[in-house]
Amino acid sequence: MLKIKDIRKNFGDLKALDDVSFDVDDGHILGLIGQNGAGKSTTFHSILNFLHYQGTITWNDQPITEDVFNQIGYLPEERSLMPKLTVEQQIIYLARLKGKTAKEIRPQIDVWLQKFAVKGTKKDKIKDLSKGNQQKVQLICTLIHHPKLIILDEPFSGLDPVNSDLLKKAIFEAKDQGAAIIFSSHDMENVEELCDSLVMLRNGQVVLKGTVRQVRQEFGRTRIFVTTDWTKEQLEQLPHVIKVETQEEKRFVLRLDDETAGKEIFDELTHGQYIEEFNQQPPTLNEIFRLKAGAQNE
């Protein structure tokens, strides 16, 4: 288990992290979200002892020292492969830094290249691969030693939907093997699909924390998806409806100022008759992200 307690980090007068605390259990995926500059990468760098910080970070109740680094897989936001090495040389070089031998790693390379659908061979030089395939090689370097703690800083950046799915599959496999996983992403759909829980930072402070369901429910079920013969103008006259959006013909999203109005609106629309769709939901993570990230400007 990764435990982060009361982490503080200043860069001059800038508070990059201000009493940040959260845990990541084994076999658990946590999404760390927030705007650029919110403190996500600084959190990762603190976990990895790249920075001096105040507070406590432990792995399995022990400080994270060089002895623990072999159990960590880290994918930085900035890609950092050595272009003149071959794929095989690059993977083996980084694996050896994690305590593995070339004899252990070499037989696994083709399997991992196939798993990530890398277009190229292990004998190709890094510089001859496309940027997307270079990124997949770096992901292999992050995971091939089967780390117990995995830190992924914007891992989906630059990946198309097909390759994103390959990465998601690898993340779930690592989770099933008991790894504690923490990743950052600006794509809230990825966060919602992958994460058991999330932490949102704003200006170095935790402003949201919990399971995805808990976080969404905190904001109330203030959206109703409805398919009806009513017009947009008629729907706008319903009690507690503050906005109506047309999604397609006869399908609308009603935004409420009070989630308890859902039953009244349902009764008004149906009068006891069949209705094709009436689905009351909390806001999406995308909407919550915009709301909380924008709060600093209020």
Position 294 confidence tier, pLDDT thresholds 50, 70, 90? low
Mean predicted confidence (pLDDT) in 107-132:
93
CB atoms within 10 A of CB 227: 16
Amino acid at 68: V
- pLDDT of 285 over the 70 cut: yes
Tell me the CA distances in angstroms from 129 to 86, 92, 152, 161, one per residue in order.
10, 17, 22, 19
Q: What is the pLDDT of residues 159-208, one digit of tens each?
A: 889 989 999 999 999 999 999 999 999 889 899 999 999 999 999 999 99
Q: Do 68 and 42 form a contact (C-beta atoms < 8 A)?
A: no
d(CA 10, CA 205): 12
pLDDT at 278 over 90: yes
Q: What is the pLDDT of residue 290?
A: 86
**8 Å CB contact between 32 and 201:** yes
**CB atoms < 10 A from the CB of 26, how many?**
15
Domains and CATH numbers, the chain: 2-217 (3.40.50.300), 220-281 (3.30.70)
Residue 295 confidence (pLDDT) = 54
Mean pLDDT of 106-126: 94
pLDDT at 125: 96
Please tell me the predicted confidence (pLDDT) of residue 287.
86
Q: Alpha carbon of 94 to those of 8, 67, 116, 124: distances in Å?
A: 30, 16, 18, 17
User: Could you tell me where the beta strands, DSSP code E, fall in 25-146?
Assistant: 28-33, 54-59, 62-63, 72-75
The string of pLDDT tens digits covering residues 181-191 is 999 998 898 99
Residue 147 DSSP symbol = -
Percent share of the chain, pLDDT over 90:
79
Written as one letter, the residue type at 96 is R
Q: Hey, CA dihedral for 208, 211, 217, 222, is it positive or negative?
A: positive
Distant-in-sequence, close-in-space partners of 58: CB < 8 Å, separation ≥ 6: 2, 3, 64
Q: What is the pLDDT of residue 78?
A: 82
User: Exposed, middle or buried: residue 14 (CB in 10 Å: 0-12, 13-18, 19+)?
Assistant: exposed
> Could you tell me the pTM of the whole model?
0.85
Instruction: Quote the pLDDT of residue 297.
Output: 44
**Tell me, what's the pLDDT at 169?**
94
- C-alpha R_g of the chain: 23
Residue 61 has pLDDT above 80, yes or no: yes
